[in-house]
Amino acid sequence: MNHSQEEISVATKEPLLKIENLKKHFSIKGGGMFNSKRKIVKAVDDVSFHIYKGETLGLVGESGCGKSTLGRNILRLQEPTEGRVFYKDTNILEQNNRELRKLRREIQIIYQDPFGSLNPRFTIGQIIGEMYEIHGIASGPEKEAKVKEMLELVGLDPSRYHSYPHEFSGGQRQRVGIARALALNPEFVVADEPVSALDVSVQSQVINLLMKLKKELGLTMLFIAHGLNVVRHISDRVGVMYLGKLVELSETDNIFDHPAHPYTAALLSTVPEADPKLRKERIVLKGEVPSPANPPSGCRFRTRCPLATELCVQEAPPLKEIRDEHFVACHFPLEKGQSLKEAIELLNKEKIAN
Amino acid sequence: MDKILEVKDLVVGYKGKNGFVRAVDGVSFDINKGETICIVGESGSGKSVTSMSIMRLVEFENGKILDGEISFKGESLTTKKADEMRKIRGSKISMIFQEPLTALNPVFTIGKQISEAILFHHKIGKEEAWKEAEKLVRLVGISDPVGRLKQYPHELSGGMRQRVMIAMALASEPELLIADEPTTALDVTIEAQILELLRNLREEKKMSIMLITHDIGVAAEMANRIIIMYAGKIMEIANTFDIFEQPLHPYTKGLLESVPKMDGQRGVPLKSINGSIPSLNEIPEGCRFSPRCPFATEKCHQEAPALETRGNRQVACWHVDYLLEHSLLDVEEEGGISIES
């Protein structure tokens, strides 16, 4: 039983989306009742990367790192502050409303919350059928036939066309959300924490469904999640975000076997493994993610980084390719095969020597 | 081994339109001194209700202990009056919750709330209590305890708040700490910090911990023994290593396999459990897992199996003896259970 990765993935090296210097800044009121000075929160700060046609790009990071904001800004569900997002050759950010609506047939989103994202007053037939009506693709019996086809595709009984969202379980509701997103046969889908709200026994069903659909429909997917094991399972490449910055990006096996950014390495070591024999030595990071309203100077991870030096305080490291197709934003990336623990020990020895 | 907590045939119901809905239906287990036991289950499994019943907190939520017995160090908790129970709550048994923000009072400082908890259990002065609070806050790994005590809950991050909750829970030097999904609302790097803290405290204070979680990974890291619950019943109890080495109950196996492993084959379909978790209003006949169980036979659909002991394990499955001899993997390859046991 040798499933090679090529067999599973249809990823190419041809970018379907090019995200260039994307920024999303929010202006918030300063702290305290009498402090009216406004602060800028840089939720996404100068992020650039490509999404290749046919790939699943996983995006991980802790809450507040900007991963969901990034996803929403790419689709212009929120207006980015700056930057360019090219879908094929069109800059999504320059489209007017009419053009954008046309584009929405091809780019879609699946939300996390299967309870909040479906209108409780509409039947699922209406919820999914709406997609065809808004875009003037089908109506009446033709629409109904299309919706039923979609329901079947996502593993729901087409006879439940007239049911309301509350009549479905969480997993089934997420299937409705997937059917809605895929109704117009999009080319690119942002899946924003699509399985986080589901119970484990149901979670794997939905993951399997997403993998199957991706393959059958030839989708390109940006898969945003905080569950590292899920992201590892489903993604061809993985990007890691920290405090509004993309800090590492590479092929999944590279990221998980040879993480180069100290944050990625620490993050991976903290995942509780479902195997007591693997109770491993963790690199428990000190402290917490700083507030994005007041990020540290230089490298944003330096306040928690066990390898940080004076250089990290002064200069923010740019994202650069250190090995083949392996991008890291760190002044002192880990060597291939070097663990974070070894790097820390090495650093301590050097300190003593000096 | 000394048993610190014994739960026997516990039945807990919530008032619904048509009488009581049984959220926990005949649950028995015990916790030894110094042991960490994890109750693992999905939503509606009754894991939280079980812990709330031990603290007798279900009564505040329209719930009722309908039957069964809970005893703490030989003393029955089910028959205690409300004011007696209040003395046990937060003294010999403490509890921490998933969402520390809602569990803390927003209008009082952290110091006020922790010292209050100390004053409730110890006959000491206010100043002394404040000093004790400082010690506790330091113990749970909060830097600058003097300054932190003057802060309000909203000024702290989620991880910090959970540390404060743990400090409060420790105020009375409990013998049993019940932690209900203590890290579910936290990010992984913070979760790692809190789990490490709990492990250290366990060593230091020699207390028993009952950890309720939906995350098999957390259970694998923390537990001596694991209890698997499904739809209000216990499916399996075993030592942590045994459960991962050889899950006996088909549900346990399904649960373990549903989680993608960090060293597993990527991209291949995950094993999953068919169907969805039943609502408590429509509990299936017979074994509650039978409609989703790939090994279910006629008997499973008709009669509910009891939790039976085999060696040092307990399993609620009609086919336990068969599964002990044939591993679940073989059974799967053979396409089901071949004899009617």
Structure tokens at A3: 């499933």
Distance from CA of A91 to the nearest CA of B (A): 32
- Tell me B155's DSSP state: G
**Residue A137, min C-alpha distance to chain B (Å):** 33
Tell me whether residues A267 and B193 touch, CB distance under 8 A.
no
Q: Residue B211: helix, strand or coil by DSSP?
A: strand
Yes or no, beta carbons of A276 and B276 under 8 Å apart: no
pLDDT digit string (tens) for A59-113? Answer: 999 888 999 999 999 999 999 999 999 999 999 999 999 999 899 899 999 988 7
Residue A289 lies in a domain: yes
| Cβ <8 Å between B277 and A3 | no
**C-alpha distances in Å from residue B76, one per residue of B3, B85, B179, B276:** 13, 10, 21, 37
Pairs across A and B, CB distance < 8 A:
141
Beta-carbon count within 10 A of A198 CB: 23
Question: At B314, phi and psi to the nearest 5?
Answer: -130, 130
| pLDDT confidence of residue B341 | 40
Angle between helices B158-170 and B110-121 (to 10 degrees): 20
Position A285 in a domain: yes
Nearest-10 Cα torsion for A204, A207, A212, A218: -170
Test A169 with B218 for CB contact under 8 angstroms: no
Sign of the CA dihedral running B270, B271, B276, B280: negative
- Residue numbers of A between 216 and 275 with CB closer than 8 Å to B: 226, 228-230, 232-234, 252-253, 256, 266-268, 270-275
Residue A98 lies in a domain: no
In which band, very low, low, confident or very high, does the pLDDT at A263 lie, cut at 50, 70 and 90?
very high
Domain count, chain A: 1
Residue showing tokens 């087409």? A158
The span from the CA of B108 to the CA of B29, in Å, is 38
- DSSP secondary structure letter of residue A61: -
- Cα dihedral sign, A244-A247-A251-A252: negative
ipTM of the complex: 0.85
- Alpha helix (H) residue ranges in chain B: 47-54, 82-88, 100-103, 110-121, 126-139, 145-148, 158-170, 188-205, 216-222, 240-245, 250-258, 298-302, 320-325, 328-334
- What is d(CA B2, CA A238) in angstroms, rounded to the nearest whole number? 49
* Distance, CA of B144 to CA of B154 (rounded, Å): 17
In a domain, A346, yes or no: yes
Q: Residue A8: its pLDDT value, please?
A: 44
Angle (CA) B188 A9 A221, round 5°: 55
For residue A256, the chain B residues in CB contact (below 8 A) are 262
Kindly give the residue spans of alpha helices, DSSP state H, lying in chain A.
5-8, 67-74, 97-103, 124-134, 140-153, 170-182, 200-217, 228-234, 252-257, 262-269, 310-314, 340-353
Supply the pLDDT for residue A277.
79
Query: In the 8-state DSSP scheme, what is residue B271?
Result: P
Q: Which two tokens mark A324? A: 């083949």
* Residue A280 touches partner B, C-beta closer than 8 Å: no
Neighbours of B336 (CB within 10 A): 10
pLDDT in tens, A283-336: 778 888 888 888 899 999 999 999 999 999 999 999 999 998 999 999 999 999
Phi and psi of B106, rounded to 5°? Answer: -70, -20
Check if the beta carbon of residue B62 is closer than 8 Å to that of residue B15.
Answer: yes
Does any CB of chain A come closer than 8 Å to the CB of residue B265?
A: yes
Neighboring chain B residues of A274 at a CB cutoff of 8 Å = 216-217, 220, 244, 256, 259, 261
What pLDDT is stored for residue A305 in this prediction? 94
Contact A340, A284 (CB under 8 A): no
From first to last of the 341 residues of chain B, give the pLDDT tens digit.
689 999 999 999 998 877 888 999 999 999 999 999 999 999 889 999 999 999 999 888 889 999 999 999 999 999 999 889 888 887 889 999 887 777 889 999 999 999 998 998 888 999 999 999 999 998 888 888 888 999 999 888 888 888 999 999 988 889 999 999 998 888 888 888 889 999 999 999 899 999 999 999 999 999 999 999 999 999 999 999 999 998 999 999 999 999 998 888 998 999 889 888 888 888 899 999 999 998 899 999 999 999 999 999 999 999 998 888 876 666 676 666 655 44
How far is residue B261's CA from residue B244's CA, in Å, rounded to a whole number? 13
Residue B60, CA atoms < 13 Å, CB-side half-sphere: 8
Quick one: pLDDT at residue A223? 97
Which pLDDT tens digit goes with each residue over A18-49?
999 999 999 877 655 566 677 888 999 999 99
On the 0-12 / 13-18 / 19+ scale of CB atoms within 10 A, B304 is middle
Evaluate whether A292 touches A279 at the Cβ level (below 8 Å). Answer: no
Which residues lie closer than 8 Å to B281 by C-beta, 6 or more apart?
Answer: B16, B21
Note down the domain range covering A265: 260-353
Q: Classify residue A213: in a domain, yes or no.
A: no
**Average pLDDT in the A248-252 region?**
96
Q: Is residue A320 part of a domain?
A: yes
Q: What is the predicted pLDDT for the residue at A151?
A: 95
Interface of A with B in 129-188 (CB under 8 A): 169-172
- The C-alpha angle B180, A169, A186, rounded to 5 degrees, equals 115
Q: Do B220 and A272 touch (CB under 8 A)?
A: yes
SS3 state of residue A249: strand
| Residues contacting B293, CB < 8 A, separation 6+ | B250, B251, B287, B300
Among A190, A180, A175, A159, residue whose Cα is nearest residue A72: A190
Can you give the C-alpha Rg of chain A in angstroms? 22
Q: Which residue of A has its CA nearest to B256?
A: A274
The answer to whether B31 touches B4, Cβ cutoff 8 Å, is yes
What is the pTM (predicted TM-score) of this model? 0.89
pLDDT confidence of residue B340: 47
B159 to chain A, any CB pair closer than 8 A? The answer is yes
Does residue B214 sit at the A interface (CB-CB below 8 Å)?
Answer: yes
Q: Which two tokens stand for residue B264?
A: 């597993």
CA B39 to each of CA B13, B191, B213, B307: distance values in angstroms, whole numbers, following the listed order: 19, 18, 6, 15
Identify the sign of the CA torsion B212, B214, B215, B219. positive
**Residue A179: band (very low, low, confident or very high) from pLDDT cuts 50, 70, 90:** very high
- Does residue A349 belong to any structural domain of this protein? yes
Please name the residue that has the structure tokens 């950890």. B211
CB B115 within 8 A of CB B133: yes
Give the CB-side neighbour count of residue A157, counting CA atoms within 13 A.
7
12-51 of B, contacting A, C-beta below 8 A: 42-43
Q: Which two tokens stand for residue A84?
A: 């360019």
The answer, for A279 touching chain B at a CB cutoff of 8 Å, is yes
DSSP A316: P
Q: What is the DSSP letter of B89?
A: B
- Assess contact for A288 and B157: CB atoms under 8 A: yes
Q: Is residue A251 part of a domain?
A: no
Question: Residue A56: which of A218, A193, A166, A194 has the closest Cα?
Answer: A218
Q: Which string of DSSP letters, residue by residue, matches A180-208?
A: HHHTT--SEEEEESTTTTS-HHHHHHHHH
pLDDT of residue A243: 93
Q: Which amino acid is present at A269?
A: S
Give CA–CA dist B304/A32, Å, rounded.
59
pLDDT, mean over chain A = 89
Kindly report, residue by residue over A327-336, the tens digit of the pLDDT.
999 999 999 9
| The pLDDT value given to residue A1 | 38
Answer yes or no: do A272 and B160 touch at CB < 8 A.
no
Q: Nearest-CA neighbor of A63 among A203, A247, A193?
A: A193
Q: What is the pLDDT of residue B337?
A: 62
Question: CB–CB of A80/A38 below 8 Å?
Answer: no
Beta strands B63-72 and B75-76, pairing class: antiparallel
> Is B272 within 8 Å of A201 when comparing Cβ atoms?
yes
Is residue A3's pLDDT more than 50?
A: no
